[in-house]
Structure 1
Amino acid sequence: MAHRLRRGLTATAAALSLGCGLSIAGPAGFAHAAASDCEGGRNGFTDISDSLTGRVVPGYPFEIGGSHFSLEYGTVGGVQRGWAHLTASGISFPQDEVWMDWTRDGGASWIQCGPFTLGSKSSKTTAAQHTSNDHNWRFRACGKVYPSGYSYCGPWW
């Protein structure tokens, strides 16, 4: 029953997200980085707790099949940083994933930091990257849900 409900919710989310300006995650313009490329201080990222919450960026959260994805920011180690956050619901799956795309050229190309898998937790974050006043330095949260395998990204911030 939960699988059938989730499949229906995921299909509904797919239709709604396309109408609300969310984009289907795709390969054009990105350079994939494994989760390990964004952890432990690599590439300017900072590890954070999976339960850390911050201020939610306008245009977020979005929901796919019962999982909630948000782009958040706050002060981490004395520096304002942004990160993507997945919050599970009763119909989320351990395989659900969250990642954050980061661009330094206004979205012409970007690095995909992740994915980070939910596992047995109720909340999962990506590593955090410092924010900037440069209008080309932007972030967006993305997620993938199972069993459908649908992937979506929210708007750039």
Structure 2
Amino acid sequence: MFTVPVGSGKTMYLWSGYVGGIQYAWTKFDSSASGNQIWLDYSTDGGANWPQCDLRTLDSGRNYGTAFRASSDTKVKMRAGSRPKGGASQTSNWWSDKTTQNIDMKAALPRSTS
């Protein structure tokens, strides 16, 4: 799991887990507020290009996005993105199923994409 502090005591996460032996990754935003946005960037060329997948404007209930299937291909990478309501966009570092799990990224500075 990657974690990225996004200000106001809130954190964005890139989670990964297994369902039926298949690994998936998804974005989660803690303490979601109406109007916050999350998405998952999905790259098949190591992060050179990517579509923004599952852009979701959150309400006060659901605080996570759709899970996307991971790949053992080292060129397939994912990263979480978020935009707090009225705030700047931020992304996590790139992740692949080859990335060491349980890395705490709070010490890393989030990248602004606005």
TM score, norm. by length of structure 2: 0.74
1:117 to 57, 60, 64: 57
Counterpart-to-counterpart distance in 1, 2:56 and 2:17: 20
Query: Which consecutive segments of 4 or more residues in structure 1 shift more than 2 A?
Result: none
Q: Structure 2 matches for 1:99-110, cutoff 5 A?
A: 99-110=39-50
The Cα offsets for residues 90-143 of structure 1, whole Å up to 9 and x where unpaired, read as xx531111111000011111011122122011x522111111121110000010
Amino acid aligned to 1:62? V
Counterpart-to-counterpart distance in 1, 2:46 and 2:53: 16
Q: 1:155 to 1:68 in 2, by over 3 A?
A: same
1:150 to 73, 83, 88: 88
Q: Structure 2 matches for 1:11-90, cutoff 5 A?
A: 56=1, 60-65=2-7, 66-88=9-31
CA contact (8 A) 1:113 1:126 kept: no
* Structure with a larger share of its residues in helix: 1
What stretches of structure 1 of length at least 5 have no aligned partner? 1-55
What stretches of structure 2 of length at least 5 have no aligned partner? 96-114
Counterpart-to-counterpart distance in 2, 1:76 and 1:124: 20
What is the match of residue 131 of structure 1? Answer: 70
> RMSD over aligned Cα, in angstroms?
1.5
TM superposition shift of 1:62: 0.9
Amino acid aligned to 2:12? F
Q: 1:120 to 1:93 in 2, by over 3 A?
A: closer
TM score, norm. by length of structure 1: 0.55
- Identity, % of aligned pairs? 33
Amino acid aligned to 1:130? R
Amino acid aligned to 1:143? S
Counterpart-to-counterpart distance in 2, 1:76 and 1:95: 29
